[in-house]
Amino acid sequence: MCAPKSLLVVKTSSLGDLVHTFPAISDLASHFPGLHVDWIVEEAFSELPSLHPAIRHVIPVAIRRWRKKLWSTSTQREVSFFLERLRSVEYDAVLDFQGLLKSAFITRLGRGFRFGFDWASAREPLASLFYQKHCSVALNQHAVVRTRLLASCVFGYDLVGEPNFGLSTSEGGKKSRDVIFIHATSRTSKHWPETHWIDLGQVLAKQGWHFVLPWGNEIEQQRAQRLARHIPNACCLLRRLYLTEVAGVLASARGIIGVDTGLTHLAVALGRPVVSIYLDTDPALTGVWQTRNTINVGSSGTVPTVEMVLSGFRKTNALF
């Protein structure tokens, strides 16, 4: 197609999936200077896209909340407002990076030529029926590669170079001696044992490191407090932070060690040294993007040892 001037991106969740989409946005901004990009995203993550300089407007959607009270007056009012906003702008292209039925339905509501994965490439093949042009992108590739390939296929440019996440925060130049332990995730099967966190913290504390233990709900706060009681030089974030505030904390840290969750992926996108711990999933397709400063440890059905994580931490540049 001709060089687009406006693009509506549909990628509603989750946090890690949103982060994996940023390199494709950077590619588009590089190939089409002045391109205006709007992004539809779940309300819980609505702060995140604004960290990328190419994003003009963020359009929140609340499918997760709306479907619980679909017929309530307040929900109907919010849905009407969302549809009015969505239909108020005509785009050169509407691109579904998610490939699910819910995202394809939203894509169908947008005003513009619709693009997405083909039947064999979409995570839910029926989603491909909602698009006007389809692209074939092999499923057995990392999510960062898949999103970049989809964008390059849609807009007809060659994919070159390493991924550029394009994120920046005001804290990016301030580095501390803090190591952030991202210990919490929504799935219990992804949790690293608390005893391992304590042993790891005690080893690193002897080397002069300090630790930050973020939390997002009461259960996570209790876990952070338990860990902090046994790890010297550890503190919990004393309140829940906005996502942009969390990004600032991550950007200023000397290093991050975290389980398979969105904040760990965000730390990589912010250019920090990261060790990502895997117990329940295979990092080959959705692990943190590996650079000289990042490493995935473990895999599905394994529990990485403390020494494995320490070894990974030494291989990052957090120590230098």
> Is the per-residue pLDDT at 175 higher than 80?
no
User: d(Cα 270, Cα 284) in Å, to the nearest integer?
Assistant: 21
Q: Is residue 281 very low, low, confident or very high in pLDDT (cuts 50, 70, 90)? A: confident
pLDDT of residue 172: 52
Q: Is residue 1 very low, low, confident or very high in pLDDT (cuts 50, 70, 90)? A: low
pLDDT of residue 103: 98
pLDDT of residue 318: 60
User: d(Cα 271, Cα 259) in Å, to the nearest integer?
Assistant: 17
pLDDT of residue 27: 98
- The stretch 150-163 carries a mean pLDDT of 95
Q: How confident is the model over 185-237, as pLDDT tens digits?
A: 988 999 999 999 999 999 999 999 999 999 989 999 999 999 999 999 999 88
Q: How confident is the model over 27-49, as pLDDT tens digits?
A: 999 999 999 999 999 999 999 99
> Is the per-residue pLDDT at 2 higher than 80?
no
pLDDT of residue 169: 65
Average pLDDT along the chain: 93
Q: How confident is the model over 50-74, as pLDDT tens digits?
A: 999 999 999 999 999 999 998 999 9
> Is the per-residue pLDDT at 240 higher than 80?
no
pLDDT of residue 237: 81
> Is the per-residue pLDDT at 137 higher than 90?
yes
* 158 and 239 Cβ atoms separated by less than 8 Å: no
* Residues 224-233: contacts with CB under 8 Å, at least 24 apart: 224/183, 224/184, 226/194, 227/181, 227/183, 227/194, 227/197, 227/198, 227/201, 230/198, 230/201, 230/202, 231/197, 231/198, 231/201, 231/202, 231/205, 232/201, 232/202, 232/205, 233/205, 233/209
Q: Is residue 319 very low, low, confident or very high in pLDDT (cuts 50, 70, 90)? A: low
User: d(Cα 88, Cα 97) in Å, to the nearest integer?
Assistant: 22
pLDDT of residue 202: 97
